[in-house]
Amino acid sequence: MPYGYEDWPRLSLESLRLGRGLNVRSFKVGSISYDFNPTGIMITGMGGSGIVGDVVRDSLQGVNVIVHKDFNIPPWVSRDSLVVAVSYSGETLETICGALEALRRGIPVIGVTTGGRLAHELEAKGAPVVKVPRSIAPRFGLPNLLYAVLGVLSHYVTIPDVNESIEIQGEVLKSQLPIKLANFIKGYVPMIFAPIGLQAVAYRFKNDLNENAKTPAVVAIVPEADHNDIVAIMLKHPVRYIIIKGRTDDIHDYLMNAVEEVVRNYSSDVEVVELKGSSRLTQEVYGSMLLGLVSLKLAELYGIDPVRTDPINTLKDRIRNLSCPG
Ligand code: PA5
């Protein structure tokens, strides 16, 4: 199995341990104490690191989790919030600027990274940093970053079903679905429907298709998609429909069945992906892993290197030496 996917269970456990092992009581930056009860959690990060926030937000129902993907921390974020800054490389300017601004404003920040400038700047100020194991590229390090963040958050909130979400990974590796789905998508633009409570799976799949398979993709989140995206099925486009279904709640599960029915009325180019697992975390890990393998299979069918992301590198180089805004 390529690109380290077979290592996900081991990396998940190791990274969870790293996050849990952080002794939050031993950190203090000026008047900022890390041993507190945050009223909200903001997770910042971009791309393969940013998706960690989406998975955590979907998984921790009832916890006030906000996902942020930009340079500045919104003015309403208060000092009783916790900011978790996630950057695989530690070199992403958006994430570094957000973390530094938060600390300047007296908001506690914890970094999750392999190192780089983010680790350097946070450590120099005395802020906690969890250093995760390396992978081939940021998005391949999803288990490393995700489980380290869950480990960190376990100091503040209850994380449901972490073990199940790791156990299910072995099952994904045996699935034949990636080959089938990659062949189904090849030559088309995938349009991905998913319920709002599991939206991270759809966005992760889109990002993996973009980066690994160099393929554009459309994400349609239900119920909003029932009021716009769904109308596009009335014309025949070079699109393949993928409907991600899981268990969220009665009304959203019902709506996803209705969406499938309506799409099938217009097109036979439809595949349904049923997420496994009893919790949202497990379903999202299952879906992210399975659909990540689809993107790798598609890259193989196109004969392209999934690791190369030249335009991202070009854009990062263009902003590398800029100062943080604001
Ligand atoms: O997967 C990728 O390579 C990208 O999406 C990166 O995650 C993104 O550019 C942000 O970089 P980093 O994760 O190092 O902060």
Tens of pLDDT, residues 278-304: 999 999 999 999 999 999 999 999 999
pLDDT category at 324 given cuts 50, 70, 90 is very high
One domain, residues 144 and 211:
no
Q: Over the chain, what is the mean pLDDT?
A: 97
| Total residue length of the chain | 326
One domain, residues 42 and 91:
yes
pLDDT category at 200 given cuts 50, 70, 90 is very high
User: Looking at the domain assignment, is residue 312 inside a domain?
Assistant: no
One domain, residues 46 and 86:
yes
Q: Which structural domain, as residue segments, surrounds residue 110?
A: 2-159
User: What atom in ligand 1 is closest to the CA of residue 207?
Assistant: 5
Check whether 82 has a pLDDT greater than 70. Answer: yes
Domain count, the chain: 2
* Cα angle value 158/159/165 (rounded, 5°): 165
Phi/psi for 127 (5° steps) reads -85, 145
Alpha helices (H) along the chain: 8-20, 47-59, 93-104, 116-124, 142-153, 162-174, 177-185, 199-213, 250-266, 280-302, 310-319
User: Looking at the domain assignment, is residue 235 inside a domain?
Assistant: yes
One domain, residues 139 and 265:
no
The two three-digit tokens of residue 99, written as one number: 């973390």
One domain, residues 27 and 136:
yes
Going by C-alpha positions, the residue among 191, 195, 242 that lies closest to residue 218 is 191
Check whether 2 has a pLDDT greater than 90. Answer: no
User: Looking at the domain assignment, is residue 310 inside a domain?
Assistant: no
pTM score > 0.85 for this model? yes
Query: Of 115, 136, 159, which residue constitutes the final position of a domain?
Result: 159
Is 224 noted as a catalytic residue in this protein? no
Q: Which DSSP state fits 111?
A: E
Query: Of 159, 178, 195, which residue constitutes the final position of a domain?
Result: 159
Report CA-CA distances (Å) from 4 to 151, 211, 214.
21, 16, 20
For ligand 1, atom 5, the nearest C-alpha belongs to 47
Q: State the DSSP H helix or E strand holding residue 190, giving kind and residue range, or none if neither.
A: strand 189-195
User: Looking at the domain assignment, is residue 154 inside a domain?
Assistant: yes
Q: Mean pLDDT throughout 216-241?
A: 98
Is 211 noted as a catalytic residue in this protein? yes
One domain, residues 151 and 177:
no
Instruction: Give the model's pLDDT for residue 326.
Output: 77
The binding-site residues of ligand 1, defined as CB within 6 angstroms of any ligand atom, are 46-49, 87-89, 92, 95, 137-139, 211, 309, 312
One domain, residues 229 and 173:
yes
Select which of 69, 125, 237, 316 is catalytic: 316
pLDDT category at 249 given cuts 50, 70, 90 is very high
- Rounded to 10 degrees, what is the CA torsion of 135, 136, 139, 142? -20
Hey, which of 139, 142, 314, 319 would you mutate to test ligand 1's pocket, going by the most ligand atoms within 8 Å of its Cβ?
Answer: 139
Residues 6+ apart with CB under 8 A from 79: 32, 105, 106, 107, 108
SS3 181: helix
Check whether 1 has a pLDDT greater than 60. Answer: no
CATH of the domain at 252: 3.40.50.10490
Ligand 1 centroid to Cα of residue 58, in Å, is 20
CA distance 197 to 55: 10
One domain, residues 114 and 39:
yes
Instruction: Give the model's pLDDT for residue 192.
Output: 98
One domain, residues 266 and 136:
no
One domain, residues 112 and 51:
yes
User: Looking at the domain assignment, is residue 110 inside a domain?
Assistant: yes
Is 300 noted as a catalytic residue in this protein? no
Residues 6+ apart with CB under 8 A from 206: 192, 217, 218, 219
User: What atom in ligand 1 is closest to the CA of residue 116?
Assistant: 14
Q: 202-220 burial by CB neighbour count: b if 16+ within 10 A, else e?
A: bbbbbbbbbbbbbbebbbb
**pLDDT digit string, tens, across residues 95-122:** 999 999 999 999 999 999 999 999 999 9
Report CA-CA distances (Å) from 146 to 65, 152, 304.
14, 10, 27
User: Looking at the domain assignment, is residue 261 inside a domain?
Assistant: yes
- Residue 123 near residue 90 (C-beta atoms within 8 A): no
Ligand 1 centroid to Cα of residue 138, in Å, is 5
**pLDDT digit string, tens, across residues 126-171:** 999 999 999 999 999 999 999 999 999 999 999 999 999 999 999 9
